[in-house]
Amino acid sequence: MGKFELSHRVVLAPLTRQRCLGYVPQPPMILYYSQRTSKGGFLIAEAAGVSDISQTSPEMPGIWTKEQVEGWKPIVDAVHAKGGIFFCQLIHWLTTQEIPLVVDDFRVAARNAIEAGFDGGEIHGAHGYLIDQFLKDEIIDRTDEYGGSRCRFALEVVDAAVKEIGGDKVGIRLSPFANYSESGDSNPETLGLYMAESLNEFKILYCHMVEPRMKSVFEKVDCLDSLIPMRKAFKGTFISAGGYGREDGNKAVAENRTDLVAYGRLFLANPDLPKRFELNAPLNKYDRSTFYTRDPVVGYTDYPFLETTI
């Protein structure tokens, strides 16, 4: 994957875990990410709000910049100590009338992610968040240039991040087929294909797309749509996510439909997921009721490793 040498194709997907206090990373996160790190493994951290680690938002004072960066450093160090490759997902959810300021927020966030020690940043352009709201024709009702060209905002954010830290350190997550928070599109394949082709101009490291079968949160449906056109169009590393297990993940790679497969709930419940996949070992079941609690241990760092279950 670009300059990175991976030992396997199992990616830790970015997951909202809500274990930060006041947007600042906490010590239990060191263990959580360290548990899920293998040498040569690729991890994507939960979204760090752009407004939380930039200095341009009046709602989030500039003190967050230092606290966020310093808070992430020991977590990143723990992942690197075990030979992992770690990207920070960058997200923005504040409303604003000044789009250039939001674009600049992403630029500053990308820079701060590198300062915190991350290997790169993943722009969150999926699941109904701000960038996705601009992309989808069933939600955007702007009549200015950002409504007439729905992909403009997303590509301006990518351009700003690439100019700040380099395309080899930038990825983006997209979900053209999803309808999270009523952010659907009437022609998702055309949207996804246009974005895949446009991203090539910026030579970013990877494109991380959510499978069409994941229409909404936790819902997996049968459908005929496919990411194959986007996979063929994008020239960098392609990551697929969305309800994968071991067998269909292997099949997707064998059929050249993706380079890497991102796992969320399975990686959450199985900190040694790559090893379990390698051995075709039984998997722990995840507990949905603990996904978004504040407990620093339960449902977070207490899922057992394989050797403790045999």
Question: Strands 260-263 and 85-91: what pairing?
Answer: unpaired
Tell me the C-alpha distance between 51 and 92, whole Å: 7
Phi and psi for 121 in degrees, rounded to 5?
Answer: -135, 140
Q: Which one from 32, 33, 129, 244 is the annotated catalytic residue?
A: 129
3-state secondary structure of 246: helix
3-state secondary structure of 112: helix
Residues 6+ apart with CB under 8 A from 267: 10, 12, 13, 15, 36, 273
Structure-block tokens of residue 165: 């830290």
Segment (H or E) for 2: none
For the chain, what is the radius of gyration of the CA atoms?
A: 18
Q: Is 303 a catalytic residue?
A: no
What DSSP character marks residue 219?
Answer: B
In sequence order, the β-bridge partners of residue 237 are 206
- What sections of 50-171 are H helices per DSSP? 50-53, 63-81, 99-115, 130-135, 145-148, 152-165
Structure-block tokens of residue 237: 């590393």
End-to-end CA distance of the chain: 34
In this structure, how many other beta carbons lie within 10 angstroms of the beta carbon of residue 276? 20
Question: Which residues are designated catalytic?
Answer: 129
